[in-house]
Amino acid sequence: MKCENRVLGHKSTRRHASGGIILVVMSLALLVGCAREQRRTRTVDAPTGSPAKASPVGPSAATSTQAVGLPNVGPLFEPTPPPQVYVVQSGDTLTAIASRFGCTVQVLMEANQITNPNLLQVGQKLQIPTVQADVGPSAILLPDSEFVNGPAYVDFDIGAFCARQGSWLIGYSESIGGQLLSGPEIVSLVAHRFSLGPRLLLAILETQGGWVTEANPTGPSFSYSMLAKMADQLNKGYYDWRGRGVTVMTWEDGTTTRYAPTLNAATAGLQYFFSLRATKSEWQRLVGTGPGSFLETYRRLFGDPAQYAVEPLIPADTANPSLVLPWPKGEMWYYVGGPHGGWGDGSAWTALDFVPDEGYLGCQTAASWATAAAPGLIIYSQDGQVLIDLDEDGHEETGWVLFYLHVASAGRVPVGTRVRTGDRIGHPSCEGGFAEATHLHLARKYNGEWIAADGPLPMILSGWQARSSGAPYEGTLTRGREVRTSCECWEPGYNGLIREE
């Protein structure tokens, strides 16, 4: 079958050892061939601006969530100790798998009778042997609800806290996206974007450089980009452990340290974060409980972290929201990005990308409308972003929240609007990020945690269930026997979706 498919706009990402991202811009191209042969675009979403929140308003009669065959989802995916079985995913290499589980390629080959390390098959089951590795500290540093920007932060005022401390941050200012923001406003912006707890961020800043309480901080120069990089690394540690099953940290010298099996995601996130910026001996101190530790600093600022615990952060009987495809009935849009980060590379693979059937738009604002996938309250509408609060309590930290990105300012729904399913949200564009081609980015949070699109609370849109192929931006949507595969192309039978209901 002959297929004529146009690429939306190539962008690849490459990660430094430090965790930073380099954007490599490649030329736009016109490709002729089958959609299955398309190369993946890597779009890094990084909008600008400071958060604003609607005041809580009364409840709506609309019901925004219901159980959809998942009456009890159980705990989210978390690591299990070896030995274990790993199923090879699209994009895997034996080297990457060995690094992930803290063993060598040779050990994996011997355990699985592999003769050629370059020949792996998607779906192949690999036995992951027990390996000798140091086991890290087992002390729990924070509850998960203190790590994410969740219910424990509804009433926390970053500016007021910093003012009471006489914080150096009060006198700092920086222009972000054309707005002059103070230090506390930058912390608030990072907490909003990455969905990380403000107390966590402030304790990190104090531990790393004394920015919260010292008149003359000793750390490197503070900036939004510095804090955003830290936030992405914190998220990577949290979601690698929480949803991607990573069980070890690998040091620069190639040695590994295995996470203690009794950790929670917040502690794993902190252990990973500090492993990127300390020697092993310094790391042991930072992730311990004694003098000079992160926990000591946190307690000095905020007291016992257990007082803020909301457990479980995601109860086992959490109802999956009932969602529809986010565009008008009868229209065909194309599935161009499978599960990937909600914000930055580190967060859970929660987001899906779609483009309307308007041909190649470049960064021209689409004429088509993105619409509400569920009823709710608009609590944020700026900088290319729209947040729909499904429980309508006015707080992005609680319950289900739908996150739309790259929504043009012209025609965008205002804060405070109650929307019904199918109501207009705005036009897809490139606003709010480094996107090189117009598209709509849709993600979900629950109680401040980014929820992976492929489950165990999968994103289901008009009956189409998201599944990851094991690498960011790769994946499918399935409905019964129908399958649509993410692709930077316009092929109705391959990645086209019509909203029918």
Rounded distance, CA 110 to CA 54, Å?
A: 58
Do 228 and 155 lie in one domain? The reply is: yes
Q: Could you tell me the two tokens for 460?
A: 């289901």
pLDDT over threshold 90, residue 56 = no
Contact 200, 174 (CB under 8 A): no
Conformation bin of residue 316: beta by default, left when phi > 0, alpha when psi is -120 to 50: alpha
64 sits in which H/E element:
none
To which residue do tokens 């955003």 refer? Answer: 228
pLDDT over threshold 90, residue 14 = no
Q: Could you tell me the two tokens for 172?
A: 């700092």
Do 283 and 330 lie in one domain? The reply is: no
pLDDT over threshold 50, residue 13 = no
Predicted local confidence at residue 23, as pLDDT: 27
Q: Could you tell me the two tokens for 386?
A: 């729209």
pLDDT mean over 139-147: 97
Rounded distance, CA 260 to CA 236, Å?
A: 18
- Structure confidence by residue, pLDDT tens digits, 316-330: 899 999 999 999 999
Which of 113-117, 146-150, 495-499 is least confident?
113-117
Which residues are paired to 476 by β-bridges? Answer: 467, 485
Cis ω for the linkage preceding 312 (within 30 of 0): yes
The percent of residues in the chain predicted with pLDDT above 90, rounded, is 65
Given 266, 286, 308, the domain boundary residue is: 308
Predicted local confidence at residue 64, as pLDDT: 36
Do 296 and 172 lie in one domain? The reply is: yes
Q: Is residue 314 part of a domain?
A: no
CATH number of the domain that 385 lies in? 2.70.70.10
Q: Is residue 175 part of a domain?
A: yes
Do 349 and 398 lie in one domain? The reply is: yes
Do 151 and 198 lie in one domain? The reply is: yes
Which of 76-85, 208-217, 290-299 is least confident?
76-85
SS3 percent helix, strand, coil of the chain, rounded to 5, is 25, 25, 55
Identify each DSSP E strand in 216-275 by its residue range. Answer: 248-250, 256-258
Q: Domain range holding 247?
A: 144-308
Do 452 and 335 lie in one domain? The reply is: yes
Q: Could you tell me the two tokens for 197?
A: 């707890």
Predicted local confidence at residue 6, as pLDDT: 30
pLDDT over threshold 60, residue 98 = yes
Q: In the Cβ-directed half-sphere of 71, how many Cα atoms lie within 13 Å?
A: 0
pLDDT over threshold 70, residue 305 = yes
Q: Minimal CA–CA distance to 406: which of 364, 376, 375?
A: 364
Do 328 and 356 lie in one domain? The reply is: yes
CATH number of the domain that 114 lies in? 3.10.350.10
C-alpha dist (Å) from residue 269 to 51, 96, 232, 247, 283: 24, 20, 10, 12, 13
Q: Is residue 151 part of a domain?
A: yes
Q: Is residue 294 part of a domain?
A: yes
Rg over CA atoms, the chain: 22
Q: State the DSSP string of 168-205.
A: GGGG-EEEETTEEEEHHHHHHHHHHHHTB-HHHHHHHH
Do 226 and 171 lie in one domain? The reply is: yes
Predicted local confidence at residue 401, as pLDDT: 98
pLDDT mean over 460-477: 94
For the chain, give the number of residues: 501
pLDDT over threshold 80, residue 454 = yes
Q: Is residue 8 part of a domain?
A: no
Do 401 and 424 lie in one domain? The reply is: yes
Predicted local confidence at residue 55, as pLDDT: 35
Which residues are paired to 354 by β-bridges? Answer: 335, 440
Do 173 and 300 lie in one domain? The reply is: yes
Do 250 and 328 lie in one domain? The reply is: no
Predicted local confidence at residue 286, as pLDDT: 97
Q: Is residue 33 part of a domain?
A: no
Rounded distance, CA 10 to CA 196, Å?
A: 30
- Structure confidence by residue, pLDDT tens digits, 157-195: 999 999 999 999 999 999 998 999 999 999 999 999 999
Q: Is residue 1 part of a domain?
A: no
Identify each DSSP E strand in 306-415 by its residue range. Answer: 332-341, 349-356, 370-371, 376-382, 385-389, 400-405
> What is the domain count for the chain?
3
Do 215 and 350 lie in one domain? The reply is: no
- Structure confidence by residue, pLDDT tens digits, 347-357: 999 999 999 99
pLDDT over threshold 80, residue 82 = no
Higher pLDDT, 76 or 247: 247
